[in-house]
Amino acid sequence: MANNFSTLRSNLSEMAMALHGYSQAQQLELYPLSSSQVCYVGTWMGRIVKWLHEFWRKIKSFVAEVPSIFLNQTVEYIIHNVFEQAVHQVYEARQKRLLGQIKCIEKAQELVPSQEERERQLGRYLAHIAKEWRGMGPELLNDATRTFHQVLQEPQINECEQATCRKLITHFHSATHFFWKLFAKERYSHLRTPLEEALQTPSHLLCDQTLYRSLRKEQHAIDLEGILQHPIPHGALSKIQRANSMTLQEKEELKQWIQKLNEQHAAVSIGQFESVLKGIIESMHIQGQANYSLSMLLHALDQLGCALVQQEDPKHMDWREGLQPGMQLACNGRVFVLGAQLSPFKAINDEYKIFAIEGHPNWVVKIANNRLKALMEGEKIKDASAHWGIHPARIVENIGNDPTHPIHGLDVNGQCLIVERLWNCLADHEWGSHEARLGIEDEKIASVLANHLYCQHQWKASSQNLSCAHLLFDSEGVLRSSRFLKKGPDDYHAWERLCYEAAKNNAAVLAYLMHVSKLSEHPVAYYYREAIEHTLQTGNTNFLGQRQPIGYEDRVYLERAEALCLEAKAMREACVKHLQSHWRRQGWYNYRQEDQLRNLAYGRLLAAYRKHPTAGILPLALQEAVIEQLEDAHAALQANRFLPPVSQDILAYYEEQFQQNMRRNRLIMNEGEN
């Protein structure tokens, strides 16, 4: 068969070159060398071959009659006999690979389908084939039925046959793709006309775009397996929604596949990856998993760390960067006019471009850096566990004018999303509360943020792309994220920084966030407090030799503890020096009272640190407040800077706020399960 494909490749390459050269020559420069071979004569080599062939025919004509060869007949033979026969053979190989995938899924899930289920599978399989090959007649459908029963009745997957199918499909695409795409893609319609006119009988297979795409999809899967040097783990992928049901071997196979995808991401295009995923979904649907969708699969792969889902697609980015205010953009057939660009202009890491929409002040349109990302994030919105308590901006449920026929704001092809517009930013919010018990409005906002942080450290995962600048309020005053969160490793420092940034020097809000999020009870917080209190009491840093918290043995925590202890030691010395200087100026200093002076400074500093909500952040204001207290023995703690010791009533208030969050979380999770 490879030899036949070699002849087919030669003929189709000559035809393709002739079609590409037609616009200059205004004629199809093909010459029939035989009843089954053509030659492009638009090059000097082709003209030499033509001259030699005609010369040889003249010599032969002296001794025997040489039959005439007509170009139309040769083209008819190549297309209707050689090419179409090859398509039939390769499509059968495509069927066997598809059925092999179904068999792999059933093996992984330990399924033994009943006769009734097999009949339902056959119905779905034949419907799928009829959709791919629209001109398939009864005879071919009967052949497909025989192939279905033959492959699925075998006790084991025939690996030798699967390898033969891979080779057959690869040889076919190598021979035909350069030529066939001229007839299967609309942008080449101006090139194919001359050959269509040369064919007395039109070839339906040649212009069948769905058939072309289905075979290309199969080749993309084979190419991906070749790039990764790893088979697609259909069995593990069939269980990706139920990871707990995977065997250790399946988990390892899936992990290795994703790892190889990440390593070879530059060699895999987004279009190729999408094609492969759609092929996986087709096999799942035929097998019987009707709820298996592209968006679900993308979301699951993203959760497992597949970098391709987030990767820029150069073609999509070229189109996106050409969008300007005043241009039109379609979403599921509804056309909008773009308003002002709302997203910042970035040279790198430009995940989204966001525009206002003229005539719709409460909506914005978001365009991701690839189409798969938009589809995946449409699924992510439905997953309550993916938001860690702060939901992203809602996708508009109906962007149409007719309420009885709603048009969803997520484009079916992932081109864009239309979401509600978020207005005021948390970074610009001014907290009005200055007591431990927050006001109603401040409590409502701080509760959401505290719950968000609690969910992160409970699930041992932190968001890699969240800051107060990305947290905004919707039209109802609900705090939402303008970005879909990226899951990263748990990071106590990031959580503490977010609390500090959000509180904006408001000690009441900072204490609320740290206590209600339970970050104040985090193992790293305890570790830091013990180390710093030891240094503040003794001036030594030998506590650093103590073991780090279990699960947080990373060197970054040890290095931070070292830095904090050095800061604490410097604060001790600064407070003592300032107190000595101040007492001298006041005439109070007596060297016999040096120990009393030092104990006073150390004690006040230790007390101030214990009242400070963040264990791992020692702000300069802490030292300044202690110095102010030391200068004036009668000075109270500065208002709204350092709170009095936390009373049992306030701790009970924090606990009640935490329990309210837990009740809301359970309600949301139950709704998601239902």
- Mind listing the domains of the chain with CATH numbers? 1-75 (no CATH), 314-421 (3.30.200), 428-521 (1.10.510), 523-636 (no CATH)
For residue range 153-185, list pLDDT tens digits in order.
887 777 888 899 999 999 999 999 988 888 888
What is the CA 161 to chain-centroid distance, rounded?
A: 35
For residue range 538-564, list pLDDT tens digits in order.
888 877 667 888 888 888 998 999 999
User: What is residue 39's three-state secondary structure?
Assistant: strand
Which whole-number Å values give the CA distances from 293 to 101, 297, 411, 454, in the listed order? Answer: 17, 6, 15, 31
- According to DSSP, the residues that pair with 213 across neighbouring strands are none
CA atoms within 13 A on the CB side of 442: 21
User: What is residue 253's three-state secondary structure?
Assistant: helix
For residue range 114-126, list pLDDT tens digits in order.
999 999 999 999 9
Take residue 441 and report the two structure tokens written for it. 């409005």
Take residue 40 and report the two structure tokens written for it. 């492009």
Residue 68 has pLDDT above 70, yes or no: no
| Alpha carbon distance 304, 209 (integer Å) | 34
Residues belonging to the chain: 674
User: Are 484 and 380 a contacting pair, CB within 8 Å?
Assistant: yes
pLDDT of residue 638: 36
Lowest mean pLDDT among 42-51, 103-112, 373-382, 648-657: 42-51
What is the CA 616 to chain-centroid distance, rounded?
A: 33
pLDDT of residue 564: 92
pLDDT of residue 349: 62
**Of 136 and 126, more confident:** 126
**Of 9 and 67, more confident:** 9
CA atoms within 13 A on the CB side of 555: 0
For residue range 232-241, list pLDDT tens digits in order.
999 999 999 8
Mean pLDDT, range 251-269, rounded to an integer: 94
Q: Give burial (CB, 10 Å; 0-12/13-18/19+) of 550.
A: exposed
Mean pLDDT, the chain, integer: 84
Mean pLDDT, range 356-380, rounded to an integer: 90
* Residue 328's pLDDT band (cuts 50, 70, 90): very high
Mean pLDDT, range 662-672, rounded to an integer: 72
High-pLDDT (> 90) share of the chain, %: 40
DSSP states along 53-79: HHHHHHHHHTTSPPPP--HHHHHHHII
**pTM score, two decimals?**
0.78
* Residue 269's pLDDT band (cuts 50, 70, 90): very high
| Alpha carbon distance 230, 218 (integer Å) | 16
User: What is residue 12's three-state secondary structure?
Assistant: helix
| Alpha carbon distance 370, 414 (integer Å) | 8
pLDDT of residue 157: 76
Q: Which one, of 389, 398, 419, 393, lies nearest residue 473 by Cα?
A: 393
Residue 3 has pLDDT above 60, yes or no: no
Take residue 436 and report the two structure tokens written for it. 């431990």
For residue range 464-516, list pLDDT tens digits in order.
777 788 888 887 778 888 777 777 788 899 999 999 999 998 989 999 999 99
pLDDT of residue 318: 94
**Of 556 and 350, more confident:** 556
| Alpha carbon distance 381, 393 (integer Å) | 9
pLDDT of residue 118: 92
Mean pLDDT, range 411-436, rounded to an integer: 89
Residue 17 has pLDDT above 70, yes or no: yes
Q: Which one, of 39, 174, 602, lies nearest residue 28 by Cα?
A: 39
Residue 639 has pLDDT above 60, yes or no: no
Residue 633 has pLDDT above 60, yes or no: no
Rg (CA), the chain: 35
Type of residue at 422: L
Type of residue at 458: Q
Residue 648 has pLDDT above 80, yes or no: no
**651: phi then psi, degrees, rounded to nearest 5:** -60, -40
pLDDT of residue 167: 93
DSSP states along 363-385: EEEEEESSHHHHHHHHHHTT-GG
Q: Most confidently modeled of 7-21, 36-50, 146-160, 403-417?
A: 403-417
pLDDT of residue 591: 66
